[in-house]
Amino acid sequence: MNESLGRFEMLLSRGEAHLLGTSEVGLSLATPASRPEASVNSSFQRDANSLPEDGNGLECHSPPLCLTESKVTFLSLGAFSPSNIGHSKLPCTQLSFGLQPARTFCENSCPSVAVNGEPPMSKFMNLARKFNCFYFNGDLQRCRPFLVCGKQVGVMQAKVVEAACRYPDVFQMDSSGMISMHPSLKTYEERSARINHVLTQWREERLFVTLKGWRNECYEVRTGFADPPLLKMDRSAACLFGVRQYGVEINGYTRHPQLGMSLWLQRRALTKPTWPGKWDNMVAGGLSVGHSVLDTALKEAEEEASIPAHLLANLRSAGSVSFYFESERGLFPNTEFVYDLELPADFVPHNSDGEVDIFELVPVSQVMERIFTPEYKTTSCPTTLDFLIRHGFINSDNEPRLPELVELLHIPLHYLYSQSSSQSPISP
């Protein structure tokens, strides 16, 4: 354990970033840190209760404050560049401090004038940068790739890496700083059992605030959505390892005779462990172990909104959205499978599982204002924006950066993780 911790602290002091490997994206970065960093030991020792709380006594789930220093981010590595995707051999690139730093985003910034001749940033674009705050401003120099069976499945921040190094029989760190589950854990069952043991201890020690929202509901960890699962972990812990999370959201809408096109929104119950009391899409739920995408949509529609089967027959798949969010809980590389459901004007949803406070039918014009308020769940905004774009309420006339906005609803999460170990992968 001491050897792993020593290697970890040395890598942090050198400021190396090895998040993107040469196998797919082809970028490997090593650069001096822009400024000395304090030891992670002090931050690791912080009790979860020291984090800010909202008026309900629950931890706030707001994005972190952005930093102004030039640093290594997914954006600075050019993750969207076609020349960086799908190519196997590109030379290693040294970050130059002479390069113009990528434009950073602060939650409260909203430029109202043109910059360098470019159109001013709209509220929609600022919102998209907010729910993609880790893509734009996440500091990769303080993160390490997380590998299972020789393939990258996630990203671990410094405080999580240090905690993991206490369990050398579960996690191991190689000389480049990549964290892997121990190769002796050869099966899905073994890896799941060991990770659950570690998480249970972290929960008892109150190391991470996200584990206060323990769900007793598991997410599966995969290298890609269609790949076999490698292990499962409690859904509250997925953000600690930066593993891709999947969910389902349903836009319930009505062509109301008086209100016009309107969306049903739910206000989340105050007892919810995340985003309590915030406005959300009509139906939403995570993709847990044993449930398909459609199964999850139908199950959540019945539990959250009591939508009868004859109305669910009108459920229409509308693709997916993806984004990369960060909060004090951890990292959220999320993909949401989107459905549209047109409902009759006289239908009123009713909650049956205790997770919703109230439902409200909101005209689209008001939805387009509400999503900018702090009362709206930030990570539900991508699905709402996607609906507004597909139905023509946001278009090239009222959003000059429409193509960019659409791209920011579809961050290529499955291309961002490309690191592989030099060893032969262990068969899952």
DSSP 182-214: -TT--SHHHHHHHHHHHHHHHHHHT--GGGGG-
Point out which residues pair with 338 in neighbouring strands. 249
Positions in the chain whose pLDDT score sits under 70: 1-71, 76-119, 419-428
For residue 63, what pLDDT is reported? Answer: 53
Residue 131 makes CB contacts below 8 A (sequence gap 6+) with: 323, 325, 378, 379, 381, 382
Distance of alpha carbon 145 from the chain centroid = 15
Report field, pTM of the whole predicted structure over 0.75? yes
Rounded Cα–Cα distance for residues 425 and 422 (Å): 9
pLDDT in tens, 185-241: 999 999 999 999 999 999 999 999 999 999 899 999 999 999 999 999 999 999 999
Cα(386)–Cα(324) distance, rounded to whole angstroms? 16
Helices (H) and strands (E) in the chain, counts: 12, 15
Average pLDDT value over all residues in the chain: 80
Measured CA to CA in angstroms, residue 379 lies from 105, 177, 245, 376 at distances of: 16, 30, 12, 9
Q: Is the dihedral of CA 133, 84, 386, 294 positive or negative?
A: negative
Tokens at residue 424, please?
């032969």
**Predicted pLDDT at 121:** 85
The pLDDT, as a whole number, for residue 7 is 58
359 contacts: CB under 8 Å, gap ≥ 6: 264, 265, 266, 267, 282, 305, 348, 349, 350, 351
